Amino acid sequence: MEIDKAIGDCNDQRLKTKYNNAVYVIQRALALYNIEEVAFSFNGGKDSIVLLHLLRAGYYLHKLEQVKHDEDLGCNQSKFPIRTIYFESPCAFPEINSFTYETAAIYNLQLDILRQDFKSGLEGLLRTKPIRAIFLGVRIGDPTAVGQEQFSPSSPGWPPFMRVNPILDWSYRDVWAFLLTSKVPYCSLYDQGYTSIGSVYDTVPNSLLSVSNPTSGKVEYRPAYMLADGRSERAGRTRKSKVADSSISLSNGTTDVESQQTCIPTASVIGVGDEILLGKVEDLVGPSLCKKLHSIGWTVTQFDVLRSDIDSVAESVERQKSTSDMVFIYGGIGPLHSDATLSGIAKSFGVRLAPDEEFEEYLTSIAGYQSTGDKNEMAQLPEGITELLHHEKLPVPLMKCQNVIILMATNLAELDKEWDCLIELAASSGLLMLTKPFSSKYLSTTLSDVEVAQPLSAMRIDFPDLFIGCYRKSRRGPLVITLEGKDQGKVQLATEALVKKFPAGTISETI
């Protein structure tokens, strides 16, 4: 079964554990109830898609235990025998409805389409069908999850049935890890910045995923799986007017000009080197690079440190180049056997390494004509995608492969020099988008983490376009709360609102 194999072959141990636990719950339910007595509530959202494929895998494994040979399942593998309940609503997104019916056709779902409210529709269905248990895609954090366990009887006043919650303990991260690892289709709205989909009247793209297109200047949204903090999953749930001009793009109340001014380009940083991972050397280049990117208004969404291994580099670059505006990679450049960066980048783009005469001339001018063939190895660059970034202050140009910039720096002095050259090139050629810098506020308090946790969580919903973080410089030191954003007015407003949430004198602004 393809789902079971995909999860089994992945390297994500957390996902494997979540998957095995969920499938175990499903198999328990299928052992307790006949197949005619169970149903599956499907709404086209990401959680129910996860549950659908978990049920497919769980049912397959359940049947596998009941037969002696795999071939006995051959004629029924394409059928999904569990009754599927779909509540069709006039308030649903058209994309959700379309995706639901496409999914039903692909996986042979037996749809019971209900057009009443959930409770009334369920009462009518259970009067005519012998359903005793319903699989639900409820997760901790959902409004309906309070007090539920993996097996929970229905609430008083509802028709009697057993609620089965296989993914109750799954996080937002777990959901997307499963979908991306399994490579199963999901609703297109999630690629448009929607992270939690309700009705057309209460759902907008999550502003935490907004970016400005440098070409058109319009606000666009990164896919839902790029949301850094799953606790902000429902930040896109808001009340909208039922009468809306379809020509106006939703931007959480900001104008196009404001959105362009506050856009936040994203970067990933990749360091390559076994010595860093072994703790033999302290990596100063990566953290300094993150600070430099922050200083020009960029946010770093991921910082990977990798083995000097071609496959490791290829996998990381492949993942980051499609989810970040720019990827910066350093380390592992040279003629040594451990210098795997260029080969890894080439593999991630599906191209070969080929000699570059122009780059070889630079290497020759540095190493001299007495050098060995190693310089020729270094002059092999990813074919057809490599752009040399020339600057008079650099003895050898930097390299850019589409949205991947390759730095030669091995220490802070070299990084400072290369960074200054990049900024100059950005100003003259648009290599990097130099955006409005962040405005920051720092607050200090002696309150405990528990005392500040809830107010800070509420602030993240009230101010979704700000970065709100916490840290302590020492174990017993005060808690420092940071608020950062492109809009200085919003940062100040958030600071004042946060101070009001605590008793007077318990929180103060610091420099």
- Least confident residue range of 118-122, 364-368, 457-461: 364-368
> Residue written as tokens 């528990």?
450
pLDDT average, residue stretch 373-391 = 73
Degrees to nearest 5, angle at CA 319 with 212 and 213 = 10
Return the H-helix or E-strand segment holding 381.
strand 380-382
Q: Which of 357, 333, 337 is nearest to 346 (CA)?
A: 333
Give the separation between CA 491 and CA 460, rounded to whole angstroms: 12
At residue 165 the predicted structure's pLDDT band, cuts being 50, 70 and 90, is: very high
- Look at strands 353-355 and 439-445 and give their pairing: unpaired
What rounded mean pLDDT belongs to the chain? 83
Q: What is the pLDDT of residues 473-502, one digit of tens each?
A: 888 889 999 988 888 888 899 888 888 888
Half-sphere exposure of 169 (CA within 13 A, CB side): 13
- Joined together, the tokens standing for residue 78 give 């394409």
What are the two backbone dihedrals, phi and then psi, of residue 11, each rounded to the nearest 5 degrees? -100, 5
Residue 248 pLDDT: 26
* Other Cβ atoms within 10 Å of 157 Cβ, number: 6
Tell me the CA distances in angstroms from 18 to 24, 28, 178, one per residue in order.
10, 15, 9
Q: What is the pLDDT of residues 236-250, one digit of tens each?
A: 876 444 333 332 222
Q: Which of 235, 165, 146, 251 is nearest to 198 (CA)?
A: 235
Residue 239 pLDDT: 46
pLDDT reading at 73 higher than 70: no
Cβ atoms of residues 202 and 240 within 8 Å? yes
pTM of the full structure: 0.49
Q: Judging by beta carbons within 10 Å of its beta carbon (0-12, 13-18, 19+), is residue 202 exposed, middle or buried?
A: middle
> Most confidently modeled of 31-40, 206-215, 353-362, 393-402?
31-40
Return the H-helix or E-strand segment holding 211.
strand 210-212
Give the separation between CA 197 and CA 175, rounded to whole angstroms: 14
Phi-psi region of 505 (alpha: psi -120 to 50; beta: other; left: phi over 0): left
Higher pLDDT, 435 or 251: 435
Q: Which of 396, 363, 399 is nearest to 381 (CA)?
A: 399
Domains of the chain, each with CATH number or no CATH:
2-173 (3.40.50.620), 187-239+249-261 (no CATH), 266-429 (3.40.980.10), 439-510 (3.30.70.600)
pLDDT average, residue stretch 422-434 = 76
- Least confident residue range of 19-33, 169-183, 252-266, 304-318: 252-266
Residue 242 pLDDT: 38
Residue 428 pLDDT: 66
At residue 367 the predicted structure's pLDDT band, cuts being 50, 70 and 90, is: low
- Look at strands 162-164 and 151-153 and give their pairing: antiparallel
Which percentage of the chain shows pLDDT scores above 70?
87
Cβ atoms of residues 356 and 396 within 8 Å? no
